[in-house]
């Protein structure tokens, strides 16, 4: 069997972006990667159920339960190393990771953000807040960005972007769904495959 990049997906909620990756994998669109671990920083998330259904190992590592950021990241590193992780995908993962963590996995952590960076990004911009801000600003086009993760929230090198039209009468919830369907669920699996292919070919 040809070598595949071992992928860990980090989640905090329902796991819709995790599902998009799982679906793309099932369709044969991620031939160079294999999802081997799903980690949630919150207890009882639906994303964990998605992992179980897909036959993938799921772990809950709760920051509060660990007693702080340092211990939390220590447990996370332990789990990732045990899994022999090649690529970390943040898919709706709400914990901010410190420089101590991100430097261990330089150009090996990617994140999907629901706007066209550098618009509506950085600390405090996540989930519906991003779409609320876009609508409040009156932008006509928004979208999603996949980027490498460094110590600056949404500050890493951009890998892929896809634009989505803002329509009259959009609510934050309606816009969020359109951005997921038309952008996030398209460019995230593509980026996972692109980086997996690089890893496998030794770049």
Q: Which one from 113, 147, 162, 178 is the annotated catalytic residue?
A: 113
Burial 141-164 (b: 16+ CB within 10 A, else e): ebbbbbbbbbeebbebeebbbbeb
Nearest to 152 by CA among 188, 105, 99: 99
For residues 115 and 121, is the Cβ–Cβ distance under 8 A?
Answer: yes
**Both structure tokens of 48:** 């964990």
Cα–Cα separations (whole angstroms), residue 147 to 48, 111, 118, 141, 171: 24, 6, 11, 19, 26
H-assigned helices in 152-184: 172-179
For the stretch 30-44, what's the b/e string if a residue is b when 16 or more beta carbons lie within 10 angstroms of its beta carbon?
A: bebbbbbbbbbbbee
Note if 113 is an active site residue. yes
For residue 19, give the nearest of 85, 108, 112 by alpha carbon: 112
Any idea which residues carry the catalytic annotation?
A: 113
């Amino acid at each position: 069997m040809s070598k595949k990049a071992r992928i860990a997906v980090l989640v905090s909620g329902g796991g819709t972006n995790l599902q998009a990756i799982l679906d793309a994998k099932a369709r044969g669109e991620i031939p160079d990667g294999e999802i081997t671990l799903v980690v949630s920083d919150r207890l009882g998330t639906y994303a964990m159920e998605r992992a179980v259904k897909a036959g993938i190992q799921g772990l809950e590592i709760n920051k509060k339960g660990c007693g702080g950021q340092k211990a939390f990241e220590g447990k996370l590193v332990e789990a990732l190393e045990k899994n022999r992780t090649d690529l970390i995908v943040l898919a709706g993962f709400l914990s901010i990771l410190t420089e101590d963590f991100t430097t261990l996995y330089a150009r090996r952590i990617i994140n999907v953000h629901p706007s066209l960076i550098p618009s509506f990004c950085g600390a405090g911009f996540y989930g519906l807040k991003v779409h609320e801000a876009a609508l409040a600003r009156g932008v006509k086009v928004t979208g999603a960005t996949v980027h490498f993760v460094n110590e600056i929230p949404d500050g890493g090198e951009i890998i892929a972007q896809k634009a989505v039209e803002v329509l009259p009468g959009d609510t934050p919830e309606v816009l969020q769904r359109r951005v997921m369907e038309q952008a996030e669920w398209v460019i995230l699996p593509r980026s996972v495959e692109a980086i997996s292919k690089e890893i496998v070919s030794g770049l």
